[in-house]
Copies of this chain bind each other. A is one copy, B any other.
C-alpha cells in the first residue's frame, strides 16, 4: 500500500518550528510533496537560508514520517528558503529586511560584525546588501579591499539614474567612503550627513535583497534618527564589548530603539572582544575588557543574546587586508560568526512572524 500525501502532511503537523511556535504545515513550509510507493520527497521551505535549525527540522520531519506513517519510508527533503518580510514594509519594495547593526560606543567591532554577518548570510545563499552609513569612519572600503573603488551609475527602467552597488564576496556594497577621498576628513554637520545616507538607500539600484545590513555610526545622532524615521526596519543588532564603560553607552544605544517614537525590534546583543586566548596557552581565557557584560545587558532588556566573539588577531588582520575573516570557512572565527549570523536570521524570521499572521 502506497503512502498518501495526506498521511505525510498529517505526520508533519506534529513537527513544530520551535522559534515560530507553530507546526510546519500550518506555517506553509512543506511544499511539493511527491510519493512513489515508500519514497517520499518534499520541499522544506525555511524562512532563511542561514537557518540554524535546518538539520534539526529535517531530522524531525524524517522521524515524524517514520513514526506516524511508515517506519520503512525512504525520505528525501529538499531544503529551500523564502526570506520573510515585515508586514508594514512599504517604501523599499524589493528589499525584504533592513537590519541595523548598531552600538552605543565606537570601536567595539560593529563594522567587523556587520561585514562578516553580510558575507556569512551571502555564503548561505541569501541575497545580501550592505550599507556603510558610518559617515565619519567608513570601514567597509578597507574591510572588503575596496579602498579605491568608485561605484558607477546607470539608468534603470523607471528612467532614473541610479548608483550601482559594488559586489564582492557575494554582497552588494555601498559606503559613504566610496564617495570621499579616504584620507580627507568629512567635517559635515548632521543634515548633510543624513542626506548623504538617504541617497544610498533611495538612489541605488539594489535589485532584490533578502537582507540589507546597515552599519550605523556609533551613538544616537542624526543618522540614526533619519534612518529609523525614513525606512521600515526589521530589527537592530546591538554590538558591545564587555566593559562597563562600553555597556553604559550600549545601553543607551539599545534603549533608543525601544523609545515609543522609534520602536524597532532588537534582534539581540553580540558581545565582541569577549576574551583573548594566546596560541601558547590554549586553555587560558584573558577577559581583557571584563566578562559577560553583553550577556547581562541582553538579560536586562530581555532580548536574545546572540553570542560572543573572542579577540582573534586574524580578525583584525583580515579586516585590514580586505578579506573578511569568515571567508576561511573552516576557521573557528568563521564558525563563530556563522553561528551568530544564523541566530540573527532566525530572529528576523521570528520578528516577521510575530508581525505577520501566517495564512493557515
Contact = CB atoms under 8 A, between A and B. Distances in A.
Interface of A: 104-108, 111, 135-137, 139, 142-143, 182-191, 193, 217-222, 224-225, 241, 243-246, 248-249, 251-253, 255-256, 259, 262, 276, 278, 280-281, 284, 286-290, 311, 313, 316-317, 319-320
B245 A136 contact: no
Contacts of A182: 248, 251-252
B276 A288 contact: yes
Nearest to A105: B137
Contacts of A188: 220-221
A186 B252 contact: yes
Given A256-B185, A288-B311, A288-B313, A221 B243 contact: no
A287 B313 contact: yes
Contacts of A193: 221
Total copies of the chain: 2
Contact of A137 (B104, B185, B224, B316): B104
Given A244-B320, A245-B319, 7 more contacts: A135-B219, A139-B245, A139-B248, A182-B251, A185-B255, A185-B259, A288-B313
Contacts of A219: 106, 135-137, 217
Nearest to A141: B248
A190 B249 CA distance: 18
A7 to B, nearest CB: 54
A246 B106 CA distance: 10
B185 A253 contact: yes
Contacts of A262: 187
24 contacts: A105-B107, A106-B106, A106-B219, A137-B219, A139-B248, A142-B245, A183-B251, A185-B220, A185-B259, A186-B252, A187-B221, A189-B191, A190-B222, A244-B319, A245-B316, A245-B320, A276-B288, A278-B286, A280-B281, A287-B313, A288-B313, A288-B316, A289-B316, A290-B320
A136 B255 contact: no
A143 B245 contact: yes
Contacts of A255: 183-185
A183 B287 CA distance: 25
A325 to B, nearest CB: 12
Contacts of A256: 185, 187
Nearest to A252: B185
A243 to B, nearest CB: 5
A244 B241 CA distance: 20
A153 to B, nearest CB: 25
A288 B314 CA distance: 8
Contacts of A252: 136-137, 182-186
A245 B278 contact: no
A271 to B, nearest CB: 14
Contacts of A243: 316, 319-320
Contact of A245 (B111, B183, B185, B248): B111
